[in-house]
Chain A
Amino acid sequence: MSTKTETGAANRRLGEDLLVATDLQKHFPIRRGLLQRQVGAVQAVDGLTFTVKRGETLSLVGESGCGKTTTGRLLTRLIEPTGGTITLDGRDITHLSSGAMRPLRRDIQMIFQDPYGSLNPRHTVGAIIGAPFRLQKVKTEHGVKRAVQDLLELVGLSPEHYNRYPHEFSGGQRQRIGIARTLALRPKVIVADEPVSALDVSIQAQVVNLMEDLQNEFDLTYVMIAHDLSVVRHVSDRVAVMYLGKIMEIADRTSLYERPMHPYTVALLSAVPIPDTSRRDNRERIRLTGDVPSPINPPSGCRFHTRCWKAQDLCKTTEPPLVELSAGHQAACHFPENTTKLTIDPTGAAGSAA
């Protein structure tokens, strides 16, 4: 694994805002009884504000059920937002009808989590990767078949796989097929929903590296949804940490991993395994007690106060706003952690990344 050079990341940071979410909300109604009255709502995503700049990789991380996947589906408009706005390349797409959204779908595409579920078992690889061309009525210079075969080669598969079926491929190969389909329309933004979490560790690196190569080649912008902090550290320019439908902290990768400000981020980073046994003893492992509270009835004030070791009365009553505590580093906490000193050693690979 090679980490990105700082200069490359710096160049990308100059890009303008491509995808902007403002106070994005998604509440899934809970209906009960004969009349299907709404008795509550699962507040899966509750007020997200972030920007994705052209050419960068923004990662959304957090525990299961924190609303990462819902956010991805909101951004690609697979589900309708309850509130807030989504702006893609300067255009408000929050409540566009499916017909009005259709041409814009060329610009924003999605890589799915499950390589076994995301490919129709009854279609050939050619039909799967050719579907974007047919659905969007894109004319290709040498025909759809040729375009599909070019895409297959691009993602490291053989053009001869054109007539074969998904069940004949391994998980990693299937994810490559999914990536080829995503690339067919040459999108500006790709939302990748845990693209490698279903894969073998040895295959994960291959797919992650493929995605990085493609990003450099086609100037792609990624919104990476993940829970593996090691993978996130490797691929991201910026990282947003989510907890119970809210962003707790959002910062540059280096800044977040080396100087985490939100106690939740600190706890998450302390759980990353360290390969080097001699360095393991120097680290304080923070164990969070209890479960993630229900998003149906989230805690008052700061959502993390039920599990936070620094929580005080203020945290139970007042919700901390997401504010910029240092350049490009936002956190939503009344009592942020080290803004200067380093209490934990985030990962074993810290030296090479900095």
Chain B
Amino acid sequence: MTAPPEVTGSAADADPEAALQGMPKKAIQGRSLGQIAWLRLKRDKVAIAGAIVIALLILVAIAALLLDRVFDVVHPNEFHQDLIDTQNGTLAPLGTFGGMSGAHPLGIEPVNGRDILARIFAGSWISLLIATLATVLSVIIGTTMGIIAGFFGGWVDTLISRLMDVFLAFPLLVFAMALVGVLPDTAFGLSPEMVRIGLLIFIIGFFNWPYIGRIVRGQTLSLREREFVDAARSLGARGPYILFRELLPNLVAPILVYATLLIPTNILFESALSFLGVGINAPTATWGGMLSDASRFYTMPHFMLWPGLAIFVTVLAFNLFGDGLRDALDPRAR
């Protein structure tokens, strides 16, 4: 391009034809809306920062899963009673800042002296796994129900919409506590821990689908009135073709955005359940469980700092990335 960059930039925004005239011949390959969204996302520094943090968190979680469960080098449940102040009866860690030292960079817990960094590290994969898989479950159920309700309308729409109302009005926390008390510890030959993880994924995912469902239903309602649906129909397209080839590609963007924004909500919900003691069982390290443990030592609130910070950073990163994604995919919503 020979024109000054700022001139070509504004011309490209205003009129794709004008910009194309200056381009070399090979640039005829079109940019899909996805590619354009990616270009837009790349310019959003905050969203990219969020994405980098998320990528790091995922790497940390995978590393934690491998190091803790496969190679067993993390020892999140190892007691360090020798570092606890048993003389004065406070049961607080010896040393300054909650027992920070070279061996325990974030200090140790009161009473039993477990290493906080090891527990945060070991707890990371559980939080992310539960939040992600629960979100996947919500997206699958929500998209299916929403698209059916929006596309078919009539009594099907009424039925599904009322069902969504029931789910949204459901006292989820109470239900979760009751369910966890009733169900057996082991099932299908899985360990109690795995059963509990599966149960949490099911509870969180199964009761959150109406949020995705409503958005998908609304989008489908407006999309099915667009003329390209009539055009497909006038060419003889069947229902499934219209649903999967015409409507679904237009729904990917909102689904992706709300899935990204649902993950932090699910992380918080899993933490809340663990905090209330109906999440993952006691010895296993989780961020919510660590907060719960720390809350018993209200005279030493700094033990809440580290798990709280972990949850805060993770939720913030997902929210910033989700917001950026929404702006990139739908610039009109700003």
- Tell me how far the C-beta of B147 lies from the nearest C-beta in chain A, rounded to whole angstroms: 15
Bound complex: CA A160 to CA B27 (Å): 10
- Tell me how far the C-beta of A264 lies from the nearest C-beta in chain B, rounded to whole angstroms: 29
**Contact present for A78 and B227 (CB under 8 Å):** no
Say yes or no: A76-B234 contact (C-beta < 8 A), given A120-B249, A121-B250: yes
Say yes or no: A160-B16 contact (C-beta < 8 A), given A131-B232, A132-B235, A136-B235: no
Which residues 65-118 in A have Cβ within 8 Å of B in the complex? 73, 76, 78, 98, 101-103, 105, 109-110, 112-114, 117-118
**Contact present for A123 and B230 (CB under 8 Å):** no
Which residue of the partner chain, among B30, B236, B238, contacts A165 with CB atoms under 8 Å?
Answer: B30
When distances are taken between beta carbons in the complex, the residues of chain A under 8 Å from B233 are 78
Bound complex: CA A161 to CA B141 (Å): 38
Which residue of the partner chain, among B17, B28, B235, B246, contacts A163 with CB atoms under 8 Å?
Answer: B28
**Contact present for A105 and B236 (CB under 8 Å):** yes
What are 21 A-to-B residue pairs whose CB atoms are below 8 Å? A76-B234, A78-B230, A78-B234, A109-B234, A112-B230, A117-B226, A117-B227, A118-B226, A118-B228, A118-B230, A120-B246, A122-B33, A125-B30, A131-B237, A132-B235, A135-B232, A161-B30, A164-B30, A165-B31, A168-B30, A178-B231
- Tell me how far the C-beta of A10 lies from the nearest C-beta in chain B, rounded to whole angstroms: 32
Q: Which residue of A lies closest to B253 (CB)?
A: A122
- Taken residue by residue from 333 to 346, chain A's Cβ proximity to chain B (1 for < 8 Å, 0 otherwise) reads as 00000000000000
**Contact present for A114 and B227 (CB under 8 Å):** yes
Chain B residues within 8 Å of A, Cβ to Cβ: 16-17, 20, 28-33, 226-228, 230-238, 241, 246, 249-250
Bound complex: CA A112 to CA B235 (Å): 13
**Contact present for B29 and A113 (CB under 8 Å):** no
Q: Is A52 an interface residue (CB 8 A)?
A: no
When distances are taken between beta carbons in the complex, the residues of chain A under 8 Å from B17 are 169-170
**Contact present for A135 and B241 (CB under 8 Å):** yes
**Contact present for A120 and B236 (CB under 8 Å):** no
- Tell me how far the C-beta of A37 lies from the nearest C-beta in chain B, rounded to whole angstroms: 15
When distances are taken between beta carbons in the complex, the residues of chain B under 8 Å from A168 are 16, 20, 30-31
Dominant secondary structure of chain B at its interface with chain A: helix
Other than the given A105-B234, A105-B235, 15 more pairs (CB < 8 A) read A78-B233, A98-B236, A112-B230, A112-B231, A118-B226, A118-B231, A120-B232, A121-B33, A122-B33, A123-B249, A131-B237, A135-B232, A168-B20, A170-B17, A178-B231
**Contact present for B227 and A112 (CB under 8 Å):** yes
**Contact present for B237 and A135 (CB under 8 Å):** yes
**Contact present for B30 and A135 (CB under 8 Å):** no
Candidate in B17, B33, B233, B234 with the most chain A CB atoms within 10 angstroms: B234
Bound complex: CA A170 to CA B29 (Å): 17
- Tell me how far the C-beta of A187 lies from the nearest C-beta in chain B, rounded to whole angstroms: 10
The count of residues in chain A whose C-beta lies closer than 8 Å to any C-beta of chain B is 38
Q: Is A51 an interface residue (CB 8 A)?
A: no
- Tell me how far the C-beta of A342 lies from the nearest C-beta in chain B, rounded to whole angstroms: 41
When distances are taken between beta carbons in the complex, the residues of chain A under 8 Å from B250 are 120-122
Say yes or no: A160-B33 contact (C-beta < 8 A), given A131-B232, A136-B236: no
Say yes or no: A135-B227 contact (C-beta < 8 A), given A120-B250, A164-B30, A165-B33: no
Which residues 165-213 in A have Cβ within 8 Å of B in the complex? 165, 167-170, 178, 181, 185
Which residue of the partner chain, among B20, B231, B237, B246, contacts A181 with CB atoms under 8 Å?
Answer: B231
- Tell me how far the C-beta of B239 lies from the nearest C-beta in chain A, rounded to whole angstroms: 9
- Tell me how far the C-beta of A19 lies from the nearest C-beta in chain B, rounded to whole angstroms: 15
* 5 closest residue pairs by CB, A with B: A164-B30, A122-B249, A118-B227, A102-B236, A117-B227
- Tell me how far the C-beta of A192 lies from the nearest C-beta in chain B, rounded to whole angstroms: 12
- Tell me how far the C-beta of B68 lies from the nearest C-beta in chain A, rounded to whole angstroms: 42
When distances are taken between beta carbons in the complex, the residues of chain B under 8 Å from A167 are 16, 33
Bound complex: CA A336 to CA B241 (Å): 51
Bound complex: CA A98 to CA B20 (Å): 42
When distances are taken between beta carbons in the complex, the residues of chain B under 8 Å from A266 are none
Bound complex: CA A167 to CA B12 (Å): 12
**Contact present for B236 and A135 (CB under 8 Å):** yes
- Tell me how far the C-beta of A301 lies from the nearest C-beta in chain B, rounded to whole angstroms: 35
**Contact present for A165 and B32 (CB under 8 Å):** yes
- Taken residue by residue from 119 to 151, chain A's Cβ proximity to chain B (1 for < 8 Å, 0 otherwise) reads as 111111100000110011000000000000000
- Tell me how far the C-beta of A109 lies from the nearest C-beta in chain B, rounded to whole angstroms: 7
- Tell me how far the C-beta of B38 lies from the nearest C-beta in chain A, rounded to whole angstroms: 14
Candidate in B235, B246, B249 with the most chain A CB atoms within 10 angstroms: B235
Bound complex: CA A181 to CA B28 (Å): 21
Q: Which residue of A lies closest to B228 (CB)?
A: A120
Bound complex: CA A148 to CA B191 (Å): 58
- Tell me how far the C-beta of A113 lies from the nearest C-beta in chain B, rounded to whole angstroms: 7
When distances are taken between beta carbons in the complex, the residues of chain B under 8 Å from A136 are 235-236
Bound complex: CA A8 to CA B241 (Å): 42
**Contact present for B30 and A101 (CB under 8 Å):** no
Bound complex: CA A118 to CA B230 (Å): 8
Which residues 220-243 in A have Cβ within 8 Å of B in the complex? none
Bound complex: CA A74 to CA B27 (Å): 43
When distances are taken between beta carbons in the complex, the residues of chain B under 8 Å from A120 are 228, 232, 246, 249-250
When distances are taken between beta carbons in the complex, the residues of chain B under 8 Å from A105 are 234-236
- Tell me how far the C-beta of B250 lies from the nearest C-beta in chain A, rounded to whole angstroms: 6
Q: Which residue of A lies closest to B241 (CB)?
A: A135
When distances are taken between beta carbons in the complex, the residues of chain A under 8 Å from B237 are 131, 135
Bound complex: CA A132 to CA B250 (Å): 20
When distances are taken between beta carbons in the complex, the residues of chain B under 8 Å from A164 are 28-30
When distances are taken between beta carbons in the complex, the residues of chain B under 8 Å from A181 are 231, 235
**Contact present for B235 and A135 (CB under 8 Å):** yes
Bound complex: CA A20 to CA B24 (Å): 52
Bound complex: CA A165 to CA B30 (Å): 6
Q: Which residue of B lies closest to A133 (CB)?
A: B235
When distances are taken between beta carbons in the complex, the residues of chain B under 8 Å from A98 are 236, 238
When distances are taken between beta carbons in the complex, the residues of chain B under 8 Å from A161 are 28, 30
- Tell me how far the C-beta of B216 lies from the nearest C-beta in chain A, rounded to whole angstroms: 16
- Tell me how far the C-beta of B108 lies from the nearest C-beta in chain A, rounded to whole angstroms: 54
When distances are taken between beta carbons in the complex, the residues of chain B under 8 Å from A117 are 226-228
**Contact present for B230 and A124 (CB under 8 Å):** no
- Tell me how far the C-beta of B22 lies from the nearest C-beta in chain A, rounded to whole angstroms: 15
**Contact present for A163 and B29 (CB under 8 Å):** yes
Bound complex: CA A203 to CA B17 (Å): 15
Q: Which residue of A lies closest to B251 (CB)?
A: A122
